[in-house]
Amino acid sequence: MENSRRALKEEGPSAWHLARRGFLTGGLAAAGLALTGPAFGSAVAGPDRTLSFYNTHTSEKLVATYWRKGGYDRGALKDIDFILRDFRSGDIATIDRHLLDLLVVLHGKTGSRKPFEIISGYRSPRTNAILASASGGVAKHSLHMEAKAIDIRLRDIALADLRDTAIVMQAGGVGYYPGSNFVHVDTGRVRRW
């Protein structure tokens, strides 16, 4: 363990933070979960809920089991909040737990064996205002500012297939940005663009 801690410290404080709970790995897939009810029911069945991320801006990797034995793992949630932070400002927010469940189900339905690549998670109001003024594609009242949205891709799933799977789930908003190579999903009202 001491050797792995030393190696992680050499990568920088962010890597050490993410690994402190033993969740740092490369390329592991999130666990797929069975559903109860319709395409995306209010309950996600299964004993554990695990997500795997790769932050495209910071190169951080995380595999975190945020739900185990019928309850939330606070340390894993803290690690997820950290990797999905506003990388521009460093601001961290509590990520919507329904968004995490949506991602677990989405990953399982796609059959992906790769981590979610994060393009954008939480955005501070200041960051969102800067981005919105520079681009017409950024909403002024984005759900990213409420930690209820994420822009993602999966290395082993075609972008259009990821979009289509998210649309079929009817779990919130789905935006398709093939020119920028990502799909937006959120836990707002069901809509698509």
* Res 177: pLDDT: 96
Q: So what's the pLDDT on residue 44?
A: 55
CATH of domain 2-192: 3.30.1380.10
Q: What's the mean pLDDT when you consider all of the chain?
A: 82
Per-residue model confidence (pLDDT) at position 136: 65
Say yes or no to pLDDT of 166 above 80.
Answer: yes
pLDDT at 8 over 50: no
Q: How confident is the model at residue 131 (pLDDT cuts 50, 70, 90)?
A: confident
Per-residue pLDDT tens for 10-46?
333 344 344 333 333 333 333 333 333 334 444 455 6
The domain segmentation of the chain, as residue ranges, is: 2-192
Give per-residue pLDDT as tens, 65-89.
999 999 999 999 999 999 999 999 9
- pTM for the whole thing? 0.77
What's the pLDDT score for residue 29? 32
The bridge status of strand 61-68 relative to strand 48-55 is antiparallel
